[in-house]
Amino acid sequence: RMPDSVPAADRRQRASAAFSLSFLSLAFSITALSSSYWCEGTRKVAKPFCTGQSKGDHCIRFNSPDANNSNAVQYIWETGDDKFVDQKFHAGIWYSCEEIINEEGEKCRSFISLTPAADRGVLWLSIVAELLYIILLLTGAILMSVEMCYYSTVIDGLKINAFSAVVTVLAGLLGMVAHMMYTTVFQMTVNLGPEDWRPHTWDYGWSYCLAWASFACCMAAAVTTINKYTKTILEFKHKRKTLERSLKIKYKFPDH
């Protein structure tokens, strides 16, 4: 009985590793989908006029002591690039937020409304693919947990193992397509989006990296699951050949 216990422990260890990777992928994907830091950058916006006690480099100052008097001649000191300020923004699948100059907080608006009309269909496909990706990841994780807690025949475990491997691979493919479609839509929005939103400089944020980390964990879970399935099948074939060989020897040289 001792030689059979080692492969069983090894199988359970592999199942635990696949479940951990799948759960990690699920947590990463939900966090990335619900955040708005897929892309971050700055916009060049004109400085507002200084009002009241507001001072500093984020507003345009007048040299007139009576700024409210329309008859007074007002001279603006800032010229050229001094008239503009960098406004930070971050965008995700659902909405885009930008900081309010000279005030606390952010102003957010739907990213779907910013997307060019011709690309909104692709964005909706990306959203649907992301949601299906999460659903399939959840299904795969549930199947893996059932397999870990399932103490019936090894054949039943193998069936669950095969199904969870297929589901996880499909989830990984959907996730990859969804991330690539969003990347395309965002780049089109940068070029053809509204004038009051187009960024001056931008780069991918931590949510985008987390989404691709989720894809990597998903594929690692799929590979681990398929490897476990293949190894179990090979063990069965090896045991079967060993049993057939021992029966042939016993048939040729029966015990008297």
CA distance 82 to 98: 20
Q: What is the pLDDT of residue 221?
A: 92
Q: What stretch of H or E contains 54?
A: none
Q: What is the mean pLDDT of residues 48-56?
A: 57
pLDDT range class, residue 252, cuts 50, 70, 90: low
Sheet holding 84-91, edge to edge: 106-110, 95-99, 84-91, 39-46, 201-204
CB count, 10 Å around CB of 211? 25
Q: Which residues are CB-neighbours of 12 under 8 A, at least 6 positions away?
A: 148
**pLDDT of 11 over the 70 cut:** no
pLDDT range class, residue 5, cuts 50, 70, 90: very low
**Are 35 and 97 spatial neighbours (Cβ–Cβ below 8 Å)?**
no
Residue 108 φ/ψ, nearest 5 degrees: -115, 150
pLDDT per position as a tens digit, 115-130: 999 989 999 999 999 9
pLDDT cut 70: percent of the chain above it: 70
CA distance 20 to 25: 9
- 71 vs 36, higher pLDDT: 36
pLDDT per position as a tens digit, 90-123: 999 999 998 887 777 788 999 999 999 998 999 9
pLDDT cut 90: percent of the chain above it: 40
CA distance 48 to 228: 63
Q: Which residues are CB-neighbours of 98 under 8 A, at least 6 positions away?
A: 43, 87, 88, 89, 106, 107, 108, 197
Length of the chain in residues, anyone?
A: 256
**pLDDT of 205 over the 60 cut:** yes
**Are 128 and 177 spatial neighbours (Cβ–Cβ below 8 Å)?**
no
Q: What is the pLDDT of residue 115?
A: 92
Q: What is the pLDDT of residue 244?
A: 66
Domains of the chain: 10-35+116-241 (1.20.140)
